[in-house]
Structure 1
Amino acid sequence: MQVLKNFLAALALFSAAIGAAASPAEPKAGAEYIVLPSAQPTDAGKKIEVIEFFAYWCPHCYSFEPALAAWVKKQGDNIVFKRVHVPFREDTIPQQKLYFTLDAMGLADKLQSKVFDAIHVERNRLNSDALVIAWAEKNGIDKAKFLDTYNSFGVTGKLRRATAMMDLYKIEFWPVVIVDGRFQTSPHQAGSATAKTEGEQQQAAIQVLDFLVDKARAEKK
């Protein structure tokens, strides 16, 4: 009987060791994510603010979009999700204006994947006002309302705000995700040490985002 008890105890310890080895390691600051040197204020109340810096023309942002969108949907009311379309070159300004116009009209989430597909699948560069306006009409958006918003002071202000936010958060590449104004991660950051493919990097980023949202929520209590 004692031999059996010893065997069962040893088996339990072995199983626990195997389980611990199989459990993913907790993301480390300075590796899978970074803690920003200066925390920025958020306006999400008790929820956790999550901001993605992205660009429509960016192939890595396009590739990351399905995984990120699914994650945002899964988080639901736990987070307040925002996007900032980064400035880059003169010929990408129409795309930037397109995003902020759709956002102001409440259409960004609905049409986000369609804009990405237009650029990366249909090869419509959307690099001029005329191309953007034609795309909007093709997708059933009222032309007059679109133009009023596209050319508004509000959208112009969001362009300036995007540049200021890039400076504030010291954004040098994208896609990048900021959590609670304090933590930064990305597929490249989260998966650079272990991931072999871009898809694996993206899944690593999703796991880090789960960790950071939980961490931020726990620290708010």
Structure 2
Amino acid sequence: MNRREVLKRLGLLSAAGAAPLALAQQRAPFETLANRVPSEVEGKIEVIEFFHYGCPHCRNFHPLVKDWLTRLPEDVAFRKVPAIWGNDQLRGLARLYYTGERTETLGLIEEAIFAAVQDERRAIHTEEGVRNWITRFDFDHAAFMDTYKSFALQATIQRADQIARTYRIQGVPTVAVGGRFITSASMTGSHQGTLEVVDQLLERIRNEG
């Protein structure tokens, strides 16, 4: 799901389907960044998944990534960064993601976030929408909302937007590897193929040092 589709139809689902994957027949399975991005985790190879909750491809990629993470090598650090692209709705969904991460409720709510945005069309990019939506979950709602509204979270969201700009992310899901490469299903032909390329790039980085 590329940036143009998101900004054109935000709040709705993109019409992205198999067409972008067909482009993989005509291009390399990854791109090399012109400028290396320094890792934020000392001594480890950083892997970043850029995503957003309105993206059907990100939803399909999600369970594959969860399975891949069960075998994450010790020398690899993984994190997700929500794409914002200067849009208020995506910024609101990024706030929800980081709130779940900080309150350690993300494992409970993340699949439900995808469903709320894509199936139920709920406005959970707003504070009121989130407050009403989380009542279905069994955790401390007051603590969750305190984190959601915190100033520190705003700084995290701004940093996420900056990271995506640094990597020049134009579509999601996109995976950055070692601050040197990016790959996606539009390059590899499938989501599973993307993870296979990630593994290959990790091995290449280890070998090259």
Q: Fold conserved (TM > 0.5)?
A: yes
Partner of 1:149 in structure 2?
Answer: 147
Q: Contact between 1:85 and 1:96, CA under 8 Å: does it hold in 2?
A: yes
The AA in structure 1 aligned to 2:76 is I
2:44 aligned with 1:47: yes
- Residues 141 and 95 (structure 1 numbering): CA distance in 2 closer, same or farther, change over 3 Å? farther
Judging by fraction of residues, say which structure has more helix: 1
CA shift for structure 1 position 110: 4.4
Question: CA deviation digits over 1:138-171, x for unaligned, max 9?
Answer: 2223122111111111110112112211211111
Which residue does the alignment assign to 1:94?
A: 92
1:37 aligns with 2:34: yes
Q: Distance in 1 between matches of 2:107 and 2:188?
A: 25
Q: Write the letter of the residue equivalent to 1:117.
A: A
Taking a change above 3 Å as real, the CA distance of residues 109 and 212 of structure 1, as seen in their structure-2 partners, is farther
The 5 Å alignment of 1:151-190 reads 151-190=149-188
The counterpart of 2:62, out of the listed 49, 62, 65, is 65
Q: Which runs of 5+ in 2 are unaligned?
A: 1-26
2:83, 2:90 within 8 Å by CA — same for their partners in 1?
Answer: no
Match of 2:14 in 1: none
Q: CA deviation at 1:125?
A: 4.2
TM-superposed CA distance for 1:76, in Å, is 4.8
- Superimposed CA distance per residue, residues 45-81 of structure 1 (whole angstroms, 9 cap, x where no aligned partner): 3332111110011111111111122112222534211
Contact kept in structure 2, 1:94 and 1:132, CA below 8 Å? no
Task: Identify if the C-alpha distance between structure 1 residues 187 and 48 changes in structure 2 by more than 3 Å, giving closer, same or farther.
Answer: same
**Partner of residue 78, structure 2:** 81
Query: Structure 2 CA distance, aligned partners of 1:128 and 1:43?
Result: 30
**Could you tell me which of 188, 195, 199 is aligned with 1:206?**
195
Structure 1 residues 64-100: Cα deviation after superposition (integer angstroms, max 9, x where no partner): 1111221122225342111111114323332111001
**Aligned with 2:71: secondary structure?**
helix
Letter matched to residue 208 of structure 1: V
TM-score, normalising length: structure 1: 0.75
Question: Which has more radius of gyration?
Answer: 1
Residue 138 (structure 1) aligns with? 136
Distance 1:140 1:82, change over 3 A: same
Q: How far off its partner does 1:36 sit?
A: 0.6
Query: Quick check: 1:179–1:213 contact (8 Å CA) kept in 2?
Result: yes
The runs of 5 or more residues in structure 1 that have no matched partner are 1-29, 192-200
Alignment coverage as a number of residue pairs:
182
Question: 1:95·1:132 contact (CA, 8 Å) conserved in 2?
Answer: no
Q: Which residue identity lines up with residue 111 of structure 1 in the other structure?
A: I
Taking the aligned partners of 1:207 and 1:182, their CA distance within structure 2 comes to 17
Query: Secondary structure, in 3 states, of the residue corresponding to 1:51?
Result: strand
Q: How many percent of aligned residue pairs carry the same amino acid? A: 31
Task: Encode CA deviations 1:4-43: one digit per residue, 9 max, x unaligned.
Answer: xxxxxxxxxxxxxxxxxxxxxxxxxx71001111111113
